[in-house]
Amino acid sequence: MKGLSIFIVIILAVVVVLFLGWARAPDMLANNFSKKLGVSVSIDSLGIGLKHINVDEMEIGNPRGYSMPKAFSSKEIEVKAPLTRYLDDKIIIDEINVNDIYLGLEFDSTSGSDGNWKIILSNYNREGHLDEKKSKKSVLIRRLVLSNITTDIMFHENGGKVKRLPNIDKIVLRDISTEGGTASDQLMSSILGQMIKSVFVQQNLSQFLKGLGDPAKAVDSFLSPFKGIFNALPKPETDSQKERIA
């Protein structure tokens, strides 16, 4: 009887430890991203199923000295892939859906790309390389869907007035590959990097930034901190592909 009581106590203790550990999972993931990006990061909740992972209410703050309340937020990030694939060296993700996105772009001036996101991406480039040496894993995202993107842009030299750009209903990209670093870091690199690159092009942000020359080169310059991470250019989804998926 005494042995049974001890066994029950041990089981309860294990359950409590697992529960407390899981309850801290969103904060642990947010703290990891915060360390890499050099800004505050918060995640409301984290859900894991056999074939998907959900990250709800994620928010990325701004570097010190910038006035927008945040640089990024999303209502939901859904990563679709069987959990067993994360054990592979070459991880294949079927689809990632990022819903209800807010992107805050804050520039020091209109004469260059210096601003909040250049600092955030540069922080990642510096901190992320430390983990790249520890992992040989690669990640391939078959389909990345960015939905309902709200974008604000602001230039300090113009008195700090925020301009709301036209809403982007959806951006769909295919076959995005990365390598080096943990799977979570590679997924975040893909989401942030491709989101900024796509918004930069669709909103024609080079029209606001003088002296950057060729728009294509302007995008590459802005995303230069991710240069060592991206292996392949994503392919925009064609109409025929959309019809097959629908």
Q: In terms of DSSP H, where are the helices of 24-152?
A: 25-37, 116-132
Q: How confident is the model at residue 213 (pLDDT cuts 50, 70, 90)?
A: low
Determine the average pLDDT of the residues in 83-96: 92
Residue 190: closest CA among 231, 218, 222, 132: 231
**What's the pLDDT score for residue 246?**
37
Token couple for 118: 């250049």
Determine the average pLDDT of the residues in 5-19: 47
Using an 8 Å Cβ cutoff, are 176 and 141 in contact?
yes
Using an 8 Å Cβ cutoff, are 93 and 79 in contact?
yes
DSSP E strands in the chain: the ranges are 41-48, 52-60, 72-80, 90-93, 95-107, 138-155, 162-164, 168-179, 235-236
Domain limits, the chain: 2-245
Q: What is the pLDDT of residues 44-84, one digit of tens each?
A: 998 888 999 999 999 999 999 898 999 999 999 999 999 89
DSSP percent split of the chain into helix, strand, coil, nearest 5: 40, 35, 25
**What's the pLDDT score for residue 146?**
95
Determine the average pLDDT of the residues in 123-137: 65
Q: Report which residue type is found at 67.
A: S
Q: What is the pLDDT of residues 23-39, one digit of tens each?
A: 567 888 888 889 888 99
**What's the pLDDT score for residue 12?**
47
Q: What is the pLDDT of residues 183-205, one digit of tens each?
A: 888 888 888 888 888 888 888 77
Report the share of the chain in percent with pLDDT over 90: 32
DSSP 8-state assignment for residue 233? -
